[in-house]
Amino acid sequence: MVEKPTRCGYVALVGRPNVGKSTLLNHLLRQKLSITSRRPQTTRHLLLGVDTEGPYQAVYVDTPGIHHHARRQMNRNMVRSATSVLQDVDLVVMLVERDKWTIEDDLVLDHVRRVQVPKFALINKIDLLREKTALLPALGRLEGFHCFEELIPVSALQGTGLETLRGLVFKTLPVTPHLFPADQVTDKSQRFLVAEIVREKLLRRLGEEIPHRVAVEIEEFDEQPDIVDIAANIIVERSGQKRIIIGSKGEKLKSIGKEARLDIERLLERKVMLRLWVKVKPGWTNNNNMLRRMGYE
């Protein structure tokens, strides 16, 4: 019996904000790796997710949403990291949203067209369409661009079409040895994943303005035989934001901490003591030194 050749490569997941890239990554990996929320620009960092099956290994790169008018330095850094990764991948997967096309989709397409690697277009959120015929305009538009090898309707949330996507990705990857062990799922540390879980709970609990001004720093990560002791700082720009996060008699912060702790315990498969503090650092989203320290380069 002839063995299949070993295939491996980097696959960029790109699109405008809130189009479903992180949800897609989590379902492709069959576990939660990337945090999600309904708020745009939830993803701030490049996040690798490794999907290995037999001789195939796809290294997905979840990217921040590409958008116009990034006013703050942090957002400019996010867009720059998302577009620069296109130069270093073997396949680009652009996500679009079923029956919607915006000027930010035009911006993403402009970047995608410039790279000389295979490109797939995913029409996401098809579970929200009442009739399959409603896909025809989106398919026609994407075909008209003449730059995509595959057009794949999917529902990242429901998992529809994802096995078709995986099969096409695996076949498209170059013949080369695997880059990661078969049981490795990401390149990120546990500290990073813990900070992201805390930030996810903040995003889901806070109002429209505050999430974009919040970051999480892990100050202590002490692994004991029977418990992991974690201390984290929640960074905001103004004292008013600090009061909102803490809430009346500290109840909101306590609730955020409880939700985060339960998710962290599932991640680490151990008991966790989580201690949260809220600290005010004015203008941190426009301060290059602070952005570099927190990994927003």
With a CB cutoff of 8 Å and minimum separation 6, the contacts of 250 are none
In tens, the pLDDT along 187-227 reads: 899 999 999 999 999 988 886 656 677 889 999 999 998 89
In tens, the pLDDT along 227-280 reads: 999 999 999 999 999 999 999 999 999 999 999 999 999 999 999 999 999 999
- Strand, coil or helix: what is 235? strand
The residue-averaged pLDDT of 126-131 equals: 81
CB atoms within 10 A of CB 119: 22
Band the pLDDT of 176: cuts 50, 70, 90.
Answer: very high
The residue-averaged pLDDT of 52-64 equals: 93
End-to-end CA distance of the chain: 48
How far is 227 from 273, CA to CA, in rounded Å? 7
Beta-strand ranges (E) seen in the chain are 7-14, 47-53, 56-62, 91-97, 119-124, 150-153, 215-223, 228-236, 272-280
With a CB cutoff of 8 Å and minimum separation 6, the contacts of 168 are 120, 150, 152
Q: What are the backbone angles phi and psi of residue 13, rounded to the nearest 5°?
A: -100, 110
Strand pairing report for 7-14 and 91-97: parallel
The one-letter amino acid at 169: V
Q: Which domains, ranges and CATH numbers included, belong to the chain?
A: 7-172 (3.40.50.300), 190-293 (3.30.300.20)
Helix, strand, coil % in the chain, rounded to nearest 5: 40, 25, 35
Q: What is the pTM of this model?
A: 0.87
What percent of the chain lies above the pLDDT cut of 90?
Answer: 61
- Strand, coil or helix: what is 223? strand
